[in-house]
Amino acid sequence: MGIPSAVTREAGTSPPRAHRSKRRPSVSHLLIGAVAILAFVLNYLALQDRESTVLVAVADRPLSSGAQLGVEDVRFVPVPSDFAGLGSMVTEEELGAREGWILDSVVPAEGVISEQALVRPSAPSGLRAMSIPIEVEHAAGGGLEAGDRIDVVSAAGEEAVYVVSGVEVISVADSSSAAFGAMGAYHIVVAVDAEQALLIADAIEGGAVEILRSTGAEPIDGSGG
């Protein structure tokens, strides 16, 4: 007959389980969790901040009236996206389309660059815009387009001469428009310097002007171009 156990159990009860201690998170684990949460919050706030502001151009130094606006002339500052005057300011996205435009007023350092202060240049590279009235049949058959290069020839004298060569076409009269019919003559607008403008004006005054499309052609030596 065996020796009875010192621990008696009631019928239907299970044996007692050994007590297990619960492990508490260490300080390092708590710090890692806190840093992760803080990083998430900061990233969220940064994204929210970028969405609620727009970068606008301000003068990095005093800019004079008549100066060409360049990206090196400005820096960008954030402005709330719901600011009432934002629509008149030049934003970072818009600057590319306005670079090279002319300021028609003085802008002090830190002054906002407004759209109203900028004027589209008459011609690229600081040149002048000049209109040449001419019949279509004497202007490469009217096949000229903006961006083409042309030569102007004068046949008013005993011998035809090149007046200018390789000047850029800025725009061309729209022969299908009502305005073209009212003017009664085809015309092109070209970018010229001061000397070229005088040479072309003399040729127009003398009559017998021919315009050649010279896009991609070799330059003419001895011309006014």
pLDDT computed for residue 178 by the predictor: 43
pLDDT, average across residues 184-202:
89
pLDDT computed for residue 158 by the predictor: 87
Residue 76 has pLDDT above 90, yes or no: yes
Mean pLDDT of the chain: 79
Residue 83 has pLDDT above 60, yes or no: yes
pLDDT computed for residue 75 by the predictor: 94
Structure tokens at 81: 């996206």
Of the candidates 217, 149, 163, the residue with the CA atom closest to the CA atom of residue 195? 163
Residue 182 has pLDDT above 80, yes or no: no
pLDDT, average across residues 131-160:
92
CATH number assigned to the domain with residue range 52-119, chosen from the 4 options 3.40.50.970, 1.20.1260.10, 3.10.150.10, 3.90.1210.10: 3.90.1210.10
Q: In this predicted model, what pLDDT tens digit does every residue of 90-129 receive, in sequence order?
A: 999 999 888 888 888 889 999 999 998 898 888 887 889 9
Q: How confident is the model at residue 68 (pLDDT cuts 50, 70, 90)?
A: confident
**What is the pTM assigned to this prediction?**
0.56
pLDDT computed for residue 176 by the predictor: 57
pLDDT computed for residue 61 by the predictor: 92
Higher pLDDT, 17 or 157: 157
pLDDT computed for residue 224 by the predictor: 54
- Taking the domains of the chain in order of start, what are their residue ranges? 52-119, 124-213
171 neighbors 189 (Cβ within 8 angstroms): yes
